[in-house]
Copies of this chain bind each other. A is one copy, B any other.
């Protein structure tokens, strides 16, 4: 059984859907971090059977939009003095700015360098789709 002892000050991203921990780790650039970080994959969870966990021994800004897009099931725990002082749920973001491209190759956001893609959530029905604010094309995000 693999367990990681409590961290002193920092952030625990818990209840990550099994298999998504590595993607979150990469998207948050934790592979380049110079502070202690741990990625646990496929650990036993009483709630989900198996899960992934990320522990970060530092106070950093975690991009909640990225987390919500990759895995809206995660819980963020803020740890101070080895005690969880705050728990947060993430949500599928209503608006996404610049994290993926519009799938319409003729969309102005793909043609012009100074126009950043902007999407609004349009459907949560098994798949998550976003409507482009420029051309209204629907895109299933690919993070």
The A28-50 residues at the B interface (CB cut-off 8 A) are 30-31, 33-44
Q: Which residues of B contact A124 (CB under 8 A)?
A: none
A2-10, A66-74, A87-95, A97-105: which lies at the interface: A2-10
A14: CB under 8 A from chain B? no
Interface size counted on chain A using CB atoms at 8 A: 25
A55: CB under 8 A from chain B? yes
Residue pair A2, B2 in contact (C-beta under 8 Å): no
Of all A-B residue pairs in the complex, the 7 with the closest CB atoms, nearest first, are A22-B31, A39-B39, A3-B5, A36-B42, A2-B36, A37-B41, A38-B40
Q: Which residues of B contact A35 (CB under 8 A)?
A: 42
Residue from B2, B8, B33 within 8 A of A42 (CB atoms): B33
- A interface, CB within 8 angstroms of B: 1-5, 7-8, 22, 25, 30-31, 33-44, 55, 57
Rounded to whole angstroms, the CA-CA distance of A42 and B57 in the bound complex is 10
- Nearest residue, chain B, Cβ from A40: B38
Distance in angstroms from A14 CB to nearest chain B CB is: 15
Distance in angstroms from A100 CB to nearest chain B CB is: 21
Residue from B4, B30, B33, B37 within 8 A of A3 (CB atoms): B4
Q: What are 29 of the A-B contact pairs (CB < 8 Å)?
A: A1-B5, A1-B7, A1-B36, A1-B57, A2-B4, A2-B7, A2-B36, A2-B38, A2-B55, A2-B57, A3-B4, A4-B4, A4-B5, A4-B38, A5-B5, A22-B31, A30-B41, A33-B41, A35-B42, A36-B40, A36-B41, A36-B42, A36-B44, A37-B40, A37-B41, A37-B42, A38-B38, A38-B39, A38-B40
